[in-house]
Chain A
């Protein structure tokens, strides 16, 4: 197991190098440069001033030199400087990362909880009104655009009922103690996590249901039943555990998106996360920040996949035997 883990982690290096070179190339190919955007926004027309900024941004050098410099800065764990935010890239990313990680983990937790429970209920009550109802709801949340759902939830819970705040992550302009502050963030987190979580939950529910039904047909389930075990025990211990594999695979894939964030949900709820930072950075061709986020994301994807592999061994000992 350790060997596999080691192999997985070594694979990260070429992965990161590939991510850097491909995305750097893509940004260079896209028309318009960081300098164009910055000079336009700052309303600079003096050619001497534009030249001064070109040198300041290091854009007077050939693209290959810029790329090598960037790769070196990643090797030394310094992700470069973002002239747009006027701060080191690492600082910029770290300012947005906690919010994104919190939102995505909360959303995935909601998705997992709701999705697995709904999937199990649907499978147990297969072809009843419950099954159909769950399928219908799952399709609804999967099909409903998350921004629409977000706005509707905001209008209901924040505007009409006044229970929850409209967007943001903290109540602005007030001082809280540690406990009150946690509660405050939780209140702000609820709607975005639910809007995003219900979207993912729909997939989990469908996959869980299918997987449960598959396992139900197995011989060992019939054996368990014929032993006279209570239904609940059969469902939880025999079926659920064996049906979890596809869901874990899905979870692993989604954990990889934790750092990417959700631009849509962050926009609707003004969540100070990395999605909007990425969007702005791509639009302004600010490649140090784009690459910084992507490099970190690829590390998380690799680590998440390694974690999923380990989870497989725990869930199904046959895998490590192979």
Chain B
């Protein structure tokens, strides 16, 4: 099979970003005036969502379909600047216990109703806090509409500026009060045909095929969106997406839409581009959890020894075809705020792993040191291969391995409900802000039986918890970074949960598709800034 190395992909991608405008810097595009009109056909490396909008989030697919219609207050760009969307400004009080939100005036919902401060109050108290923010807004006490365009959020603790803005630019889209208030949110018919303030209105959703959006003629920014029509179409098979690109039936697809070997082939034709920008705020990793409640794996020296037996370069280059790179900590290196290079790492050294295990009291007796069971969550093809690779790697140092690669539902149950594993392979993902999405995979409060993507190791360390708690209320950005470094240092030393490799996500597009913005999360932004240079 034709393989490309990670360096080729990244180098190719970087080079192309300069020549073509996809996801490139805003300055590179300033010279060109965006053209209006046309139909953009988009897709992504996954399947159709269960509903176009799923109130608690629902994962990448509904996130992609809903954010074209439902807007957030602000958005985050790759240069770490928050840009106004529905809010013109979000300003902390001097004590960081309340925030004043100034809303954009004269915004209308797609059904013609006015968007006002009442909508934001409803969202904050009845939707963001209890449902969509995943517990991040637990300190929120009240939301008050001061006037039609001003809302004050009050908290019972200090709330860091970046933290709050990151939440407001993240999983908290704004939904219309007049459609959702007083009804069961999960089964509201509007979830299948959302009504928002965004640049696109839903025209038709043909289940199993595509959703068609049309330009919102009354959008608050009369310049946007650039395209007249947006179609999000789903192909269940990556090879079919390549074929669709080549046949001219697909323009723009995010989150690794096509098989890795096809990326190079398509880019070489010069009719397509592939870039890796646009994923800073949704980084993914291949994550392993050790079960710290089990006899052998409750010992940090054993966990560290095992990590020395894993060749992360091999996983990146062979299992991910170069679409991943070895991780050097729990947080991906794309996180320019909270990634630290100088944390302890575990080089690939099977001899050292063996010696460490000898020293830990697990020498090879009757042909093996001990037996461990690995559960690899079978939702990604790469997890299947990574499980098989880890079995080999551990057998090489004299450990017997029972490997199970169950389907989605069984994996969730075994890893996050029954904790039935010695080592689990899963995937963590999260935004730039560490709390709560990244931190809950190792804090004591993150141990929630039955809640997926939380602390499956059941690792509990009061010293680390204390640092995370301080980090949550610290408002000085420099001190927050210092705290983050401190608890990541403990995490890297204790190694209950580890990112083995960082997944590099790529966007593939026709070379005449331009993006006049540098989204930090290209999948979850409105795509109003995308235009067709035809």
Contact = CB atoms under 8 A, between A and B. Distances in A.
Contacts of A162: 247
A168 B235 CA distance: 8
Nearest to A92: B207
B406 interface: yes
B208 A96 contact: yes
Interface string A115-140: 00000000000000000000000000
A159 B240 CA distance: 10
B240 A166 contact: yes
Given A86-B191, A276-B236, A284-B408, A41 B244 contact: no
A278 to B, nearest CB: 12
B461 interface: no
Contact of A168 (B209, B408, B452): B209
B378 to A, nearest CB: 10
Interface in B268-295: none
Interface in B81-114: none
Given A36-B417, A270-B234, A272-B209, A49 B240 contact: no
Interface in A133-171: 147, 151, 154-155, 158-159, 162, 165-170
Interface stretch (B51-59, B363-371, B482-490): B51-59
Contacts of B206: 170, 272
Contacts of A83: 186-187
Contacts of B452: 36, 39-40, 43, 45
B210 A42 contact: no
Given A42-B56, A85-B50, A159-B243, A32 B209 contact: no
Nearest to A285: B409
B236 A37 contact: no
A285 B411 CA distance: 13
Given A32-B408, A165-B249, A45 B243 contact: no
Contacts of B41: 172-173
A43 B212 contact: no
A87 B409 contact: no
Nearest to A95: B207
Contacts of B186: 53, 56, 83, 86
Interface residues of B, number: 60
Given A168-B233, A284-B408, A32 B59 contact: no
Interface in B196-228: 206-210, 212
B154 to A, nearest CB: 21
Interface residues of A, number: 59
A229 B427 CA distance: 74
Interface stretch (B67-75, B127-135, B309-317, B471-479): B127-135
Interface in A96-117: 96, 99
Contacts of B438: none
A173 B209 contact: no
Interface stretch (A199-207, A219-227, A261-269, A298-306): A261-269
A178 interface: no
B419 interface: no
B207 A36 contact: no
A37 B379 CA distance: 12
A44 B57 CA distance: 9
A84 B50 contact: yes
Given A37-B408, A270-B209, A50 B451 contact: yes
A242 interface: no
A280 interface: yes
Nearest to A82: B50
B391 interface: no
B454 interface: yes
The winner among A37, A173, A267 for most chain B CB atoms within 10 A is A173
A256 B261 CA distance: 39
B34 interface: no
Contact of B243 (A43, A49, A96, A155): A155
Interface string A55-91: 0100000000000000000000000010111110000
B450 A167 contact: no
Contacts of A147: 237
Contacts of A32: 406-413
Contact of A42 (B54, B209, B243): B54
B47 interface: yes
A272 B236 CA distance: 10
A269 B241 CA distance: 10
A321 to B, nearest CB: 48
Contacts of A56: 184, 186-187
28 contacts: A32-B407, A36-B413, A36-B417, A41-B58, A42-B57, A43-B171, A43-B453, A44-B56, A45-B134, A46-B451, A47-B450, A49-B131, A85-B207, A86-B51, A86-B192, A87-B192, A158-B243, A158-B247, A159-B246, A167-B244, A172-B231, A172-B233, A268-B236, A268-B237, A270-B208, A272-B206, A276-B47, A277-B208
- List of 10 A-B pairs having minimum Cβ-Cβ separation, nearest first: A272-B208, A32-B409, A40-B452, A45-B451, A42-B56, A32-B413, A272-B209, A267-B236, A31-B410, A166-B244
Interface of A: 30-34, 36-37, 39-47, 49-50, 53, 56, 81, 83-87, 92, 95-96, 99, 147, 151, 154-155, 158-159, 162, 165-170, 172-173, 266-273, 276-277, 280, 283-285
Given A39-B452, A50-B450, A83-B186, 16 more contacts: A30-B410, A31-B406, A32-B407, A36-B417, A41-B54, A45-B134, A46-B135, A53-B186, A84-B50, A95-B207, A151-B243, A159-B246, A166-B243, A167-B240, A270-B209, A272-B208
